[in-house]
Amino acid sequence: MAMSFLKPHCTHRLPSSSSILNSPFPTISPTKSLFANGSSFSTRIPNHFRARPISSTPTKPFSFKAFSSQISASAPKPDEMPARVGFLGLGIMGSPMAQNLIKAGCDVTVWNRTESKCSPLISLGAKYKSSPKEVAASCDVTFAMLADPQSALDVACGEHGAAKGMSPGKGYVDVSTVDGATSKLIGTRIKATGALFLEAPVSGSKKPAEDGQLIFLTAGDRSLFETVAPLLDIMGKLLCPYAPHHPFSEAFELSTFCLRSRRYTTQSKFFLGDVGNGAAMKLVVNMIMGSMMASFSEGLLLCERVGLDPKVLVEVVSQGAISAPMFSMKGPSMVQSLYPTAFPLKHQQKDLRLALGLAESVSQPTPIAAAANELYKVAKSRGLSDEDFSAVIEALKVKLQSQSKE
């Protein structure tokens, strides 16, 4: 069902293979190696790129400026987007996400339980309404970025909740991390008004939110997904599979090919089907993340205990198969017992709790996540709820201290 405010050019589709074959840009032969060492990366090339031999034009040096301007030139224009956008919940994530929408030229109306957090956005041009209901009533699409299942429910379905301001032709996009049951409840209440619903939890933390580099895990009404796609692209990541910083940098011609037109980029937003699937995917991702961080913490402390420098461990890990941006970003401050909050520890424990509930619902054993969850609970009981989740290492230090007393 099309929404009343749908603009005709809101949909982003991949080009047909014939249009690619007629494209002026170089394409690549599946049998021809691009690499000096003759290595093949044929499994990495989508079929639609396998049309003609690569052009012999010499590779140009990479220019970040040109790269950025190509990206921004392809950014969605305000007239391609839903006209009025609401944003509920202006915490660590919601504030920068709303800010990026405003900076991109969207007409944004904000609300937050603690009203003072609206001020910086109002000074950037946002409008303000005094309840979720009023925001929803005055906007075409309303986003919500709330702490947990209870607050997401309250804001959507409470007395002055968004559902009260919804009606046919509008859409509600809940980007909070909640469990599937909560998301379905919210979706049912929103859809009972005739409006559309999309759950769209995000991967990526404070910095990716600020940089417009989030990954959306969406499910629900497909037409709402298509309507809000340009907005998700403002807040989210645009990925080119052959980006110039990719280790296979010889594929630069192909990167240029990808970047010359937005049509050839792969976007980091996933549509996963029915409501509940986005929530489940997000919980699985964060279950893995919570366990990884707990394990990394154990490694840092063990290193120290056996007389090795944990800073060197961070370096070693960063160069091998288990390297992860999370370890490289958080490791150096963890070594100094500093935990500047990007992802609050209380939210990580909430996500582990919800993921364990998900696993329980299908009788899936998750002993590692269960052990990690206990550690986050200890950290919470030590007053670390509002620290970054990397402060979970403190829970292990506590254990070490109590052991050494025995």
Ligand X SMILES: NC(=O)C1=CN([C@@H]2O[C@H](COP(=O)(O)OP(=O)(O)OC[C@H]3O[C@@H](n4cnc5c(N)ncnc54)[C@H](OP(=O)(O)O)[C@@H]3O)[C@@H](O)[C@H]2O)C=CC1
Q: Is residue 203 a contact residue for ligand O=CCCC(=O)O (CB under 6 A)?
A: yes
Answer with the entry of ligand O=CCCC(=O)O, ligand X, none that 186 interacts with (C-beta below 5 to 8 A by kind). none
User: DSSP characters for 47-85?
Assistant: GGGBSSPPP-PPPPPP-HHHHHHHHHHTSPPGGGS-SEE
Q: 215 by DSSP, 3-state: which? A: strand
Q: Is residue 86 a contact residue for ligand O=CCCC(=O)O (CB under 6 A)?
A: no
* Minimum distance, C-beta of residue 271 to ligand X, in the bound complex (Å): 18
Q: Which two tokens stand for residue 58?
A: 């010499």
d(CA 88, CA 161): 10
159 to 188, contacts with ligand X by CB under 6 A?
176-177
Q: Taking the CB of residue 165, how many other CB atoms lie within 10 A of it?
A: 23
Q: Are 283 and 349 in contact (CB under 8 A)?
A: no
User: Residue with structure tokens 């603009």?
Assistant: 7
* Cβ nearer to ligand X, comparing 152 with 258: 152
Q: Is residue 343 a contact residue for ligand X (CB under 6 A)?
A: yes
Question: Site map for ligand O=CCCC(=O)O, 260-289, x if CB under 6 A?
Answer: --------------------------x---
Q: Which of 129, 170, 282, 380 is catalytic?
A: 282
60 is catalytic: no
Question: Can you say whether the dihedral through the CA atoms of 350, 351, 355, 356 is positive or negative?
Answer: negative
User: Residue with structure tokens 């009023």?
Assistant: 134
Q: Is residue 344 a contact residue for ligand O=CCCC(=O)O (CB under 6 A)?
A: no
Could you tell me the CA-to-CA distances from 172 to 89, 163, 380 in Å, in that order? 13, 9, 32
Q: Are 378 and 398 in contact (CB under 8 A)?
A: yes
* Cβ nearer to ligand O=CCCC(=O)O, comparing 33 with 213: 213
Q: What is the DSSP letter of 236?
A: B
Q: Is residue 343 a contact residue for ligand O=CCCC(=O)O (CB under 6 A)?
A: yes
Q: Are 189 and 159 in contact (CB under 8 A)?
A: no
97 to 136, contacts with ligand O=CCCC(=O)O by CB under 6 A?
none
Positions annotated as catalytic residues are: 282
- Per CB under 6 A, residues contacting ligand X are 89-94, 112-114, 117, 145-148, 151, 154-155, 176-177, 202, 205-206, 342-344, 347
Interface with ligand O=CCCC(=O)O by CB under 6 A: which residues?
Answer: 177, 203-205, 286, 343
